[in-house]
Amino acid sequence: MAFPIPRRLLLVSNSRLHGEGYLAHCEEQMRSFFGGKVNRVLFIPYALHDQDAYAKTAREKFESLGYELDSIHESSDPVEAVRKSEAIFVGGGNTFRLLKILYDLNLIPEIRKRVLHAGIPYMGSSAGTNVATISISTTNDMPIVFPPSLEALGFVPFNINPHYLDPDVNSTHMGETREERILQYHEEPDTPPVLGLREGSMLLVEGNKATLLGRNKARLFLRGQTPTEHEPGADFSFLLTSS
Amino acid sequence: MAFPIPRRLLLVSNSRLHGEGYLAHCEEQMRSFFGGKVNRVLFIPYALHDQDAYAKTAREKFESLGYELDSIHESSDPVEAVRKSEAIFVGGGNTFRLLKILYDLNLIPEIRKRVLHAGIPYMGSSAGTNVATISISTTNDMPIVFPPSLEALGFVPFNINPHYLDPDVNSTHMGETREERILQYHEEPDTPPVLGLREGSMLLVEGNKATLLGRNKARLFLRGQTPTEHEPGADFSFLLTSS
C-alpha cells in the first residue's frame, strides 16, 4: 500500500489524563505539530452527543494555544468546511457514532483528500484516532449505531487500540482483557497489526516516519506473534509499509 | 410488540465465575430450565475461534447434568440441525463473530422459528445472551468482523449488557465506564431499555414472565431515566411489553 507524501498525523490515545485538563498532556506535541503556519483548526465533534458543549471545550483549549477553532457542526456545508480546512482535529467519544456521521455526511473522501493529497495536519484523540486508521475494528466502544462499514479513513495501514489497558491482576471480573480481545481480532484471517496506545501515549506520523511520543510505553500486536513493548521515542515507521 | 407464546429463555451474564468451573454457578437453574423432557441440546460455538475445544468443554458440562450435546459446527447441515433441535445453547465469545456467522449460515430465521413457534428452550451465555435480544448494540466486544446488521434474534424487545461492571472508584483510567457507555446508547433516539446483568446473574423468561435469577443485583437503564437496582427474584415482565 503506497501512501502519497505528505501525510501528517498526531494520533493521541486519550484527551484527558486523570487529574489533568483537556488535552493538557499533549500540549507540547500539539504546538510542535500544528506549528506556526496553521491559523484555524477544523474541529469534528460528532463522536459526542452534545456537540455545542464539546466545541466550546475544544475551542477554549485551541485558543489557549494560539489557534482559532471552527466546529464543523456549526457549518451549513460540512463538505465545504473540510475542503477549506487548514488543519483537522477529531475528538473522542463513541467511535461508531463518529464513523457513521462521517459516512452519512459524505466526509470520508473529502477528509482523505485534505490529509493525503493537500497534506494538512490531522489530529485525532481516542475515537478520532480510531477513525484515522484502517478500520474501527479495535475500538473499545459499544455499537450504539450501525455505520455502513467498519472501514475508516485509512491514513495508516494498521489498527490502533486507544486507552490501551493492562490486565488488573487483582480483578475477579471474568470479561475478556484488552489483550484477549485484540488476540481474538488476530484469530480472523488477514488482520493487520494493532498498536495498543496506553493513556498518555500518542503516535506522530510524518510522511513515512512514525514515532511514539508521550509518557507511556505502547504494546504492539502482530498477528501470530507474541506482543511486544515499545518505549516512547520508538520508531514505528515499519508499520507504515505493512499491509 | 406481541410475542407468541411459548418462549423459554435462560439468558446468563457469563459462563464462568472467578474461581469456579464452566457454568458451575448456574447449574441449578440449568437443571430446572431444561428439565426432564430434553434429551439433547444443540450447542452453537461460533463466538469462539476453536470450536472443537469449545464443544468439548460444553459437552462435558451438559453430560454431567444428564444431557447429550450436539455441536452445530459438527453438522453438515446447520439449518437442519436447528430444525431438529430440542433445545439450544449459545456460548459466549465475540458477539460480532457469532452474529455474523448466524447470518452467513442463514440460521437467524430458523432459530427464531424453533424458539418462538415450537417453544424449545434457548439458553445463552454472554455473547449468546446478547444475540437473543433485540440487537447487539450493548455488547462489550470489539467489532472484529462486520455482520450485515446489529439486529439480533429479538426474543426480547430490549438490550442486555452482560458482564455488567460497576465503576472502579480507585481507577485512574479515563476510558468510559460501562454506565457511561450505556447512557451514550440512550442518547440515540428510540433506543430500548438496557438490562445490565452483573456476573453471576441471569434472566429467566417464560412466556410473558421475566425473572432475575442468580447471585447478584441487576442494573436497569431506561432511556431518559435514572438507572435502578434490582435484587435477584425481581420481576422484569414489564420489559417484555415495552418496545
Say whether A142 and B14 touch across the interface (CB within 8 A): no
**H or E stretch covering B54:** helix B51-64
A145 touches A97 (CB < 8 A): yes
> What pLDDT is recorded for position B21?
94
How far is residue B102's CA from residue A91's CA, in Å, rounded to a whole number?
Answer: 35
B178 interfacial to chain A (CB closer than 8 Å): no
Please give the average per-residue pLDDT across A34-51, as a whole number: 97
Within 8 A by CB and 6+ apart from B43, the residues are B55, B58, B59, B62, B69, B70, B71, B72, B89, B90, B91
B2 — pLDDT class (breaks 50, 70, 90): low
Please give the Cα distance from B195 to B222 (Å, whole number): 9
pLDDT of residue B174: 84
Pairwise pLDDT comparison (B113 vs B2), residue with the higher score? B113
Q: What's the angle, vertex CA B107, arms to CA B104 and CA B110, rounded to 5?
A: 155
Domain layout of chain A by residue ranges? 8-167+174-241
Q: Tell me, what's the pLDDT at A2?
A: 55
Tell me whether A226 touches chain B (CB under 8 Å): no
pLDDT of residue B173: 86
pLDDT single digits (tens) B202-238: 999 999 999 999 999 999 999 999 999 999 999 999 9
Predicted local distance difference test score (pLDDT) of residue B6: 82
d(CA A234, CA A218): 9
CA–CA min distance B126, chain A (Å): 9
pLDDT in tens, B119-140: 999 999 999 999 999 999 999 9
Is A104 annotated as catalytic? Answer: no
Binned at pLDDT 50, 70 and 90, residue A242 comes out as: low
A242 phi and psi angles, rounded to 5 deg: -75, 155
Distance CA A228, CA B85 (A): 46
From the list A140, A163, A172, the residue facing B18 with the nearest CB is A172
Min Cα distance A43 → chain B (Å) is 20
- CA-nearest of B116, B118, B114, B156 to B134 is B156
Cell numbers at residue A209, please? 516516519
pLDDT in tens, A180-206: 999 999 999 999 999 999 999 999 999
User: For residue A187, what is the nearest residue in chain B, using CA coordinates?
Assistant: B49
Looking at residues A80-104, what average pLDDT do you find? 98
What's the pLDDT at A12? 98
Interface of A with B in 88-107 (CB under 8 A): 93-94, 97
% of chain B beyond a pLDDT of 70? 97
pLDDT exceeds 90 at position B4: no
Is A70 in the B-facing interface, judged by CB distances under 8 Å?
A: no
SS3 B140: coil
> From the list A14, A93, A142, which residue is nearest B185 (CB)?
A142
Distance of CA A12 to the CA centre of its chain: 6
> What is the percent of chain A where pLDDT is above 70?
97
Strands A159-164 vs A201-206: parallel, antiparallel or unpaired? unpaired
In terms of Cβ atoms closer than 10 Å to its own Cβ (0-12, 13-18, 19+), residue B40 is: middle
- Give per-residue pLDDT as tens, B34-80: 999 999 999 999 999 999 999 999 999 999 999 999 999 999 999 99
On the question of pLDDT at A4 being above 90, the answer is: no
Block residue for cell numbers 489524563: A17
Please tell me what DSSP assigns to residue A241: H
- d(CA A216, CA A230) in angstroms, rounded, equals 9
The tally of CA atoms less than 13 A away on the side-chain side of residue A173 is 17
Q: Give the confidence band of B242 by pLDDT, cuts at 50, 70, 90.
A: low
Residue A44 has pLDDT above 60, yes or no: yes
Complex ipTM, two decimals? 0.95
Q: B191 falls in which pLDDT band (50, 70, 90)?
A: very high
Question: CA angle, B5 as apex, B2 and B10 as ends, to 5°?
Answer: 105
Task: Point out the residue among B137, B142, B175 whose CB comes nearest to the CB of A181.
Answer: B142
Query: What average pLDDT is seen over chain A?
Result: 95
> Catalytic site residue A163?
yes
- CATH number for region B8-167+174-241: 3.40.50.880
